[in-house]
Structure 1
């Protein structure tokens, strides 16, 4: 069993603090002209009773394909009328303005230990999350229409199993759920090692669970695998791993995996069973990647961030890339066309269903407006033309004073959900706490 407080929340909030420190280290000053995008106003999503703003921090976790339902986590205590835990998972109906606590057991009681990693199906009906019951973390799916919650990670043992299950992701149709688990009883006869983290996928219709992080020869993976994600069509699973035997020996040697001392990003095609290194450098070699990977809805493209030369002052940074998994063409995602600009980007990027646009958090040294400001802004870039649009400014059109991140986008690519900790993003903002926001193209 993992520690009770296992969650991505700590990593995200720590990274948020790092964003502020990193950006403040860059002192280049220039303000390039930008074409005004036809975007509507920014609105806050994490609202509760009578439209009150969340009184604690919140983080966006997903949006339904049609843009009606937004999933987020929050420590706020004023989001629902009934008694709520100090931390919970919520869905807001953006059409009716109703906020709903979804981290509930089947009897309707709120889980007191749900983790932040969660996902929402394309129609907003199903929510998948991890929570602790009877001393064990399992993955659950909440059917919002029926008001029922069921366990995904039942295993085959009579008892609760010999480990925990975490970090779930769900396909757009709600059928396939990818997750990480340390249990050994999820797939009878599967080659797994006790206490190792492995990635699995469960088909909710057939009930079958499949081990994804398996050695190339069918043996147990010799390192931990975690941080799974799944494409919208449920066909491709992306994950991070420290295992050195997931590829055939010849391929692993060619890829240089034996030399790696960092986590590698992989993608597995569930139809063919083929696993490839997804986090590549532009020259085709495995890159030193941040432990997050996002897939396009069709599973063709992987978005990730690679370690780069530090910023002035020695602050670390990562650069954002997109890999076409069919061709292994790696594309750098930058907000500047100046090859001499120092750029940075976060791996939590979102690609639209037509593979046209990528939404991401980042910046470049030649887009710094003045020293000392956090320049992790939210952008979208046309993957075909390279055209880039800035999406986050203060309510009066001036630069905001915080950082933006964690974007999720609707199927049509015209609405984006994101987090931000600026004090001037909306009138009357207080800053410091992360809140969840929405922005849409006009006439969308």
Structure 2
């Protein structure tokens, strides 16, 4: 899981954090020869799957790639890759961030410094604006990681956090996400001067948001009494309008204390998921158990575009044999209601799910990775397929299938969907999603669209 922070000294952590989380899923998924068909599966309504991490000339990536986002109109796909063959006639960085125009087939390197040169080290996290024009990312220059915004239309890069490698410890900024209009960028920073006048402690990880129009920076992960958060906060996500920021935290002072002094959150060694309404200045727990109490959560959550719903994974009883397991949930941040996201209607089925889920703009569908078994399963036989579920009816459809409609032979994760929800971008290790698919079971990026329904 995305449990380690990124640091300038160990940028491999930025990439391998995703690889390690993915490798854990792959190790579990690869042990399965076949699984039971998902409950309530509908007839296929999907067109063919297409590979996205391709060079401009159509050559397939020669190394691993992971999904990072898709524009609201579904035209531009953002992904990170360690491939060396995605740029025609130019040397690729060790790890770069790319945008592919799904209409024209053009692949563009976007992790560039202010002078336009490729950054040698780019962070795994990045975000894309609704129109695909702006890319928010973190990259290393002069020994420190900063947050940048690349304007693809003008070919310019703006630096948002101008940290320097001075003193001791980590002074970097990471994990940027961007609102649909490109105005607001939220990120995690270990700096103690990211917001003027904010009383934060050096080496503390906090979540901030910057308004690119006014230049104002705001500390998001702040205690209910205005004091600094007493634990690290990270992994921000942002609503399309930039009003709501979600994040994970081990702080215990983000909510007002209940009578008797209990703030109503888990102990500091656990992670709790929060959502802050920047207009109202209110913070709520987003990662709720079905009983309405804060759950022990995976560190990644996703907000719906309107900021009303949060999708997240909570720790659950292990699979048979002691394998770790998380279950997927969606909470309504207005009402506090919690819905379990499962591929089986059988309450006794053993189910699992990944936290990287995507909710469509109309709050109708959720795309997610996971699975269920209606029988006792042996250890190591959990498969992570990609599904979409109708949040109103509960109807569940399998999305990631082989070319001939049979079971994929790997695992699929981290979906992103455009505004209409009819296309999904995802990462997979499967070798049979496209004709003549990759010969090795590395992570690659794919897209699939509805033909009807």
- TM-score normalised by length of structure 2: 0.92
Deviation of 1:212 (Å): 0.5
Is residue 163–residue 171 contact of structure 2 (8 Å, CA) maintained in 1? no
Q: Return closer, same or farther for 1:252/1:140 CA change in 2, 3 Å cut-off.
A: farther
CA distance in 2, matches of 1:438, 1:145: 24
State the match for 1:413 in structure 2: 421
Does residue 72 of structure 2 align to residue 61 of structure 1? no
**SS, match of residue 145 in structure 2:** strand
Question: Deviation digits for residues 318-339 of structure 1, max 9, x if unmatched?
Answer: 0000000000000000000011
Deviation of 1:108 (Å): 1.7
CA distance in 1, matches of 2:388, 2:228: 40
Q: CA RMSD in A?
A: 2.6
How many residues were matched structurally? 444
Deviation of 1:28 (Å): 9.4
Question: Deviation digits for residues 291-343 of structure 1, max 9, x if unmatched?
Answer: 00100001000000000000011100000000000000000000000111100
Question: Deviation digits for residues 355-393 of structure 1, max 9, x if unmatched?
Answer: 010000000013999997662000000111101100011
Alignment partner for residue 283 of structure 1, among 259, 282, 291?
291
Does residue 225 of structure 2 align to residue 213 of structure 1? no
Structure 2 residues not aligned, in runs of 5+: 1-6
CA distance in 1, matches of 2:316, 2:171: 36
Is residue 322–residue 379 contact of structure 2 (8 Å, CA) maintained in 1? no
CA distance in 2, matches of 1:310, 1:122: 39
Does residue 390 of structure 2 align to residue 365 of structure 1? no
Deviation of 1:107 (Å): 1.8
1:235-314 equivalences in 2 (<5 Å): 235-250=243-258, 256-257=264-265, 259=267, 261-314=269-322
Does residue 228 of structure 2 align to residue 190 of structure 1? no
CA distance in 1, matches of 2:376, 2:423: 26
Is residue 27–residue 368 contact of structure 1 (8 Å, CA) maintained in 2? no
CA distance in 2, matches of 1:228, 1:314: 31
Does residue 150 of structure 2 align to residue 145 of structure 1? no
Does residue 444 of structure 2 align to residue 438 of structure 1? no
State the match for 2:85 in structure 1: 78
Is residue 29–residue 366 contact of structure 1 (8 Å, CA) maintained in 2? no
- TM-score normalised by length of structure 1: 0.94
Q: Return closer, same or farther for 1:437/1:389 CA change in 2, 3 Å cut-off.
A: same
Deviation of 1:423 (Å): 1.5
Structure 1 residues not aligned, in runs of 5+: none
Question: Deviation digits for residues 76-134 of structure 1, max 9, x if unmatched?
Answer: 11111122212100000011100000001122210001111000000000001001111
Alignment partner for residue 174 of structure 2, among 158, 166, 188?
166
Alignment partner for residue 353 of structure 2, among 345, 351, 354?
345
Is residue 288–residue 331 contact of structure 2 (8 Å, CA) maintained in 1? yes
1:19-168 equivalences in 2 (<5 Å): 19-23=25-29, 30-31=36-37, 34-81=41-88, 82-154=90-162, 163-168=171-176
Question: Deviation digits for residues 409-431 of structure 1, max 9, x if unmatched?
Answer: 01001000000001112222223
Is residue 38–residue 372 contact of structure 2 (8 Å, CA) maintained in 1? no
Deviation of 1:157 (Å): 12
**SS, match of residue 249 in structure 1:** coil
**Worse-matched range after superposition: 58-67 or 423-432:** 423-432
Question: Deviation digits for residues 241-261 of structure 1, max 9, x if unmatched?
Answer: 111111111189666325453
**Worse-matched range after superposition: 285-294 or 182-191:** 182-191
State the match for 1:329 in structure 2: 337
